Structure 1
Amino acid sequence: MAIFSNDSLRQKHVLITGATGGIGYETAKVLASMGARLTITGRNEEKLLELKQELISLAGEENIFVKTADLTDQASREELVESSAKALGFINGLVNSAGIGGGGVVEELDEETVERVMDVNFKSTLFLTQLVYRKMLEQKEGDIVNLSSLSGLRGTHGNTAYAASKFAVIGWTQSMALEAIEHNIRVNAVCPGYVETEMAWNSIRKKAEKNGISFEEGMKEAAAAIPSGRISTTEEVANTIAFLLTDAARNIVGESLKISGGNFMR
């Protein structure tokens, strides 16, 4: 459930990448309940259409546009932005939620894996944002939220490629924010720690196997390591993203908001 009213984003058009699951999926539902018009994109058309049915009940069919896209391909990115603007008008907001895990300890990294992680998590974010930003410049308004990670603020043992890509997102966010705010366009990032997503489960499962314990025991250890004693929900992250898109956050610029239950302090 959204923590804002059903008109906090009334008629604002927001493009959400990575909408087929996890944080992106939940963010779409929260924004729809706040009155936003939404373009949802990802690679899995079936999941996008499932989400569309949920969103229609919240925002109406006329306010939802679905477009599959390969964000690592420039032509696909261009087609996404142009078709989105044609379908629902000026893009007021962009949520860069698409991302993948990957990599391992340094001695096991290979060039193909590193390139794939950087392409999806950083380069795709940069170049899609560039396309949307050019349109925002025409009207001197807009809000952009990038999904980084707690791993984008501190080193992560055994996950170096992923951490590097998320550090890059933070640097991109902060640098772009300085340019964009001159044009009344705000750019921020959110940095979740463990969230109830498949990516988190895979990470915990991998650690549990390495330590010779069950997945359930690994889950307990992961939660115990967090000062709040629990893993964040996708809804909590989605509500933070929603806040950054509202006028309530109009003077928050270039920030990297942590959603980790205090885990960054340990």
Structure 2
Amino acid sequence: MSIFSNEALKHKHVLITGATGGIGYETAKVLAGMGARLTITGRNEEKLNELKQQLIPVVGEENVFVKTADLTVEKEREELVLSADKALGFINGLVNSAGIGGGGVVEELDEATVERVMNVNFKSTLFLTQLVYSRMLEKKEGDIVNLSSLSGLRGTHGNTAYAASKFAVIGWTQSMALEAIEHKIRVNAVCPGYVDTEMAWNSIRKKAEKKGVSFEEGMNEAAAAIPSGRISTTEEVANMIAFLLTDAARNIVGEAMKISGGNFMR
């Protein structure tokens, strides 16, 4: 559910990657409540169609376009952008939500794991954005929100490859933002701490197993370590993304917006 006006993004066609679950899935629902036209993409066609059925009553079938894509494949990135533009018009909003966890402590890393994490979380995101950005440059208009992480702002134990990929997203966001704002295009990043998603559950589960405690105990420990006493919801992160796409955020440029319940202070 959106906390914003149901017409706040009526002028936007937003492409959301990673829309098959977690933050991307919830972001689509929030943006629909703000009147946006939506292209949703991911690898799981069934989940995308499930989401589409939830969006249709809000924005109408003609304003939702579904396209499965593996963003690590150049041809599929190109087909996604071309078909989305053809279906719903100029893409003037992009939410790069697709991402994976992965890696571990340094001595456990292997080249294949590092390549996979960097390809999904950074490289494919960069090159998809390049395709969308080229059209934004022609129109001198657009907003881009990249999903980084609290792990992109500080190192995290046992999460080296993931943290490296999210640090890369921050550096790229800040550098691109300086170029893009010259053309009236804004680029920002959102940096969640733990969010109530499958990725976070898997991370907490692994840590709990290493400690020899139950998943429930691991969840309680994770929440207790956060000053607010709880993990963020996907809706809270989606609302921050939504805000960055609105005109209310028109002078927010190149920022890495944290949402962590104060966890960044510890």
TM-score normalised by length of structure 2: 1.00
Within 5 Å, give how 1:173-188 maps onto structure 2: 173-188=173-188
Find the aligned partners of 1:259 and 1:181 in 2 and give their Cα distance: 24
How far residue 3 of structure 1 moved from its aligned partner, in angstroms, is 1.0
Aligned to 1:201: 201
Q: Identity rate of aligned residues, in percent? A: 88
How far residue 147 of structure 1 moved from its aligned partner, in angstroms, is 0.2
Aligned to 2:236: 236
Q: Which runs of 4+ in 1 moved over 3 A?
A: none
RMSD (Å) for aligned C-alpha atoms: 0.4
Q: What SS is found at the alignment partner of 2:127? A: helix
How far residue 23 of structure 1 moved from its aligned partner, in angstroms, is 0.1
Q: Give CA deviations for 1:178-233 in whole Å, capped at 9, x if unaligned.
A: 00000000000000000000000000000000011111111110000000000000
Find the aligned partners of 2:64 and 2:213 in 1 and give their Cα distance: 44
Read off the aligned partner of 1:244 and give its amino acid letter. Answer: L
Is residue 96 from structure 1 mapped to residue 131 from structure 2 by the alignment? no
Q: What SS is found at the alignment partner of 2:188? A: strand
Is residue 260 from structure 1 mapped to residue 257 from structure 2 by the alignment? no
How far residue 133 of structure 1 moved from its aligned partner, in angstroms, is 0.2
Count of residue correspondences: 266
Q: What SS is found at the alignment partner of 1:122? A: helix
How far residue 11 of structure 1 moved from its aligned partner, in angstroms, is 3.5
Within 5 Å, give how 1:75-154 maps onto structure 2: 75-154=75-154
Q: What SS is found at the alignment partner of 1:257? A: strand
Aligned to 2:162: 162
Is residue 72 from structure 1 mapped to residue 72 from structure 2 by the alignment? yes
How far residue 148 of structure 1 moved from its aligned partner, in angstroms, is 0.1
Find the aligned partners of 1:78 and 1:217 in 2 and give their Cα distance: 45
Read off the aligned partner of 1:107 and give its amino acid letter. Answer: E
Q: What SS is found at the alignment partner of 2:38? A: strand
How far residue 140 of structure 1 moved from its aligned partner, in angstroms, is 0.0
Q: What SS is found at the alignment partner of 1:41? A: strand
Aligned to 2:214: 214
Aligned to 1:42: 42
Is residue 250 from structure 1 mapped to residue 250 from structure 2 by the alignment? yes
Find the aligned partners of 1:201 and 1:48 in 2 and give their Cα distance: 22
Q: What SS is found at the alignment partner of 2:217? A: helix
Find the aligned partners of 1:39 and 1:75 in 2 and give their Cα distance: 18
Is residue 23 from structure 1 mapped to residue 23 from structure 2 by the alignment? yes
Find the aligned partners of 2:221 and 2:28 in 1 and give their Cα distance: 31
Q: What SS is found at the alignment partner of 2:118? A: helix
Find the aligned partners of 2:216 and 2:204 in 1 and give their Cα distance: 9
Q: What SS is found at the alignment partner of 2:186? A: strand
TM-score normalised by length of structure 1: 1.00
Read off the aligned partner of 1:88 and give its amino acid letter. Answer: L
Aligned to 1:53: 53
Find the aligned partners of 1:202 and 1:12 in 2 and give their Cα distance: 34
Read off the aligned partner of 1:258 and give its amino acid letter. Answer: K
Q: What SS is found at the alignment partner of 2:86? A: helix
Read off the aligned partner of 1:240 and give its amino acid letter. Answer: M
Unpaired runs of at least 5, structure 2: none
Read off the aligned partner of 1:49 and give its amino acid letter. Answer: N
Unpaired runs of at least 5, structure 1: none
Aligned to 1:7: 7
Find the aligned partners of 1:189 and 1:4 in 2 and give their Cα distance: 20
How far residue 242 of structure 1 moved from its aligned partner, in angstroms, is 0.1
Find the aligned partners of 1:85 and 1:219 in 2 and give their Cα distance: 42
How far residue 12 of structure 1 moved from its aligned partner, in angstroms, is 1.0
